[in-house]
């Protein structure tokens, strides 16, 4: 029996062809990505070019008291207007389309509640966050971008800590993992990976989606391993342990910290690009736009537009970094669990349950994909086994003894 199981574990798992439904979901998803990207650029451009932003600023000035009140009112009104304009497309993409492809269990009431909660959170936090660049613009017009970059770093760290602990539970219920035998195996594996003191949670995502996922997040006392209940339902314990080994790899290899650093650098770079380019734009188009100073609240769409253009230009490089880190997390997970068959079948289930295609076009990989293709990942899971030849593991020094 042992020989049979060993042979099965070493038998390569074939890469399944995508279903017709998955291919259609992938192709229409690309079309909607182009549409959404164009809309993200077109809306702030329209607000600026047609003078709507200046009019909204004038209305905010009548409602608010002084520059501070005007800024806060403007940001709130701007967010609400954007939410209203984009609501039909959001409803289609997040609710109608997901149900049409069998990926959602969400009721219309749950979707509306989650959407309202998201808008409320942004409406409350965005005006406060806007005070950082705009306040510094008034205090230090020449160096505001540098001081704003310094100021946003602790904000980003706070968001990373706060979101999984206090924000995520606003949308879904988190409970202790009901399968205590599996929890014991997960905690033992986490300990071997050098992650001590973690807590394992099951998040009830099946009320929203049929897709499967898991993640490891938090620092210190907020450290947590989270599994979708859909993952628990559709994967075997060995497959789950590999998926979590991958997520533990992100944590141990400090990929989350790197992502945080990239976000911060992108923000600082955005501030600098805005500082360098906004002046000439305002000198040339200020009369048309209805404002001539960057610290005018009417410039909010301009800042948003320039930051979006920069993010789009840098997206291929950022995604390439992400794909490399995902491959290293796959390697970490494989070296941790040393179960090629479970890793490969886990990827197959990710493909099938999430309606993915295993071999997307190169342009998709460059512009949209933060992960290697599933065909690459299944092949890697089948073939990567240095331990079977007694070769050293790349991350072996990170593990405690079995």
Q: Tokens 């314990």 appear where?
A: 237
- Are 262 and 318 in contact by the 8 Å Cβ rule? The answer is yes
Q: Write b or e for each residue in 297-334: b if 16 or more Cβ atoms lie within 10 A of its Cβ, otherwise e.
A: bbbbbbbbbbbbbbeeeeeeeebeebbebbebbbbbbb
Q: Tokens 């092949």 appear where?
A: 379
DSSP-assigned beta bridge partners for residue 272: none
Report the interhelical angle of 52-63 vs 300-337 (nearest 10°). 100
Q: Is the dihedral of CA 357, 239, 210, 195 positive or negative?
A: negative
- Catalytic residue at 247? yes
Q: Tokens 């994909």 appear where?
A: 369
Chain centroid to Cα 222, Å, comes to 19
Residue 144 burial (CB < 10 Å; 0-12/13-18/19+)? Answer: buried
Q: C-alpha distances in angstroms, 254 versus 236, 248, 326?
A: 27, 10, 12
Sheet holding 214-217, edge to edge: 174-176, 199-203, 224-228, 214-217
Specify the 3-state DSSP secondary structure of 164. helix
Q: Reduced to 3 DSSP states, what percent helix, strand and coil does the chain have, rounded to the nearest 5?
A: 75, 5, 20
Q: Are strands 174-176 and 199-203 parallel, antiparallel or unpaired?
A: antiparallel
- Are 384 and 334 in contact by the 8 Å Cβ rule? The answer is yes
In the set 183, 202, 239, 247, the catalytic residue is 247
CA neighbor of 345 nearest in space, from 245, 211, 236, 198: 236
Q: Which residues belong to the active site?
A: 247
């Amino acid at each position: 029996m042992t020989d049979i199981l060993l042979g099965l574990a070493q038998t390569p798992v074939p890469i399944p062809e995508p279903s017709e439904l998955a291919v259609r979901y992938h192709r229409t998803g690309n079309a909607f990505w182009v549409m959404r990207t164009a809309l993200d650029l077109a809306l702030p451009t329209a607000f600026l070019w047609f003078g709507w932003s200046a009019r909204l600023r004038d209305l905010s000035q009548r409602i608010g008291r002084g520059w501070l009140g005007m800024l806060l009112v403007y940001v709130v009104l701007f967010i609400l207007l954007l939410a209203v304009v984009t609501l039909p497309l959001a409803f289609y993409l997040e609710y109608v389309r997901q149900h049409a492809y069998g990926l959602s269990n969400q009721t219309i009431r749950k979707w509306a509640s989650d959407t309202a909660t998201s808008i409320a959170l942004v409406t409350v936090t965005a005006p406060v966050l806007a005070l950082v660049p705009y306040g510094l613009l008034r205090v230090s017009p020449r160096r505001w971008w540098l001081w704003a970059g310094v100021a946003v770093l602790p904000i980003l760290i706070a968001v990373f800590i706060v979101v999984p602990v206090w924000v995520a539970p606003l949308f879904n219920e988190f409970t202790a993992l009901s399968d205590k035998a599996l929890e014991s195996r997960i905690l033992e594996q986490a300990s071997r990976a050098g992650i001590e003191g973690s807590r394992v949670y099951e998040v009830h995502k099946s009320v929203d989606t049929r897709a499967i996922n898991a993640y490891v997040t938090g620092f210190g006392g907020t450290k947590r391993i989270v599994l979708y209940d859909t993952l628990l339902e559709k994967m075997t314990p060995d497959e789950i342990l590999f998926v979590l080994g991958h997520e533990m790899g992100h944590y141990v290899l400090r990929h989350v910290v790197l992502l945080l650093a990239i976000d911060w650098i992108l923000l600082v770079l955005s501030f600098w690009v805005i500082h360098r380019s906004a002046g000439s734009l305002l000198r040339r188009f200020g009369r048309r736009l209805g404002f001539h100073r960057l610290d005018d609240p009417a410039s909010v769409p301009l800042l948003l537009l320039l930051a979006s253009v920069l993010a789009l230009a840098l997206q291929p490089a950022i995604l390439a970094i992400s794909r490399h880190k995902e491959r290293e997390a796959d390697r970490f997970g494989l070296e941790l669990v040393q179960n090629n068959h479970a890793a490969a079948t886990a990827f197959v289930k990710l493909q099938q349950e999430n309606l993915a295609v295993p071999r997307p076009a190169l342009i998709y990989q460059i512009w949209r994909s933060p992960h290697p293709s599933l065909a690459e990942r299944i092949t890697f899971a089948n073939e990567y086994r240095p331990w079977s030849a007694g070769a050293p593991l790349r991350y072996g020094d990170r593990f405690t003894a079995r």
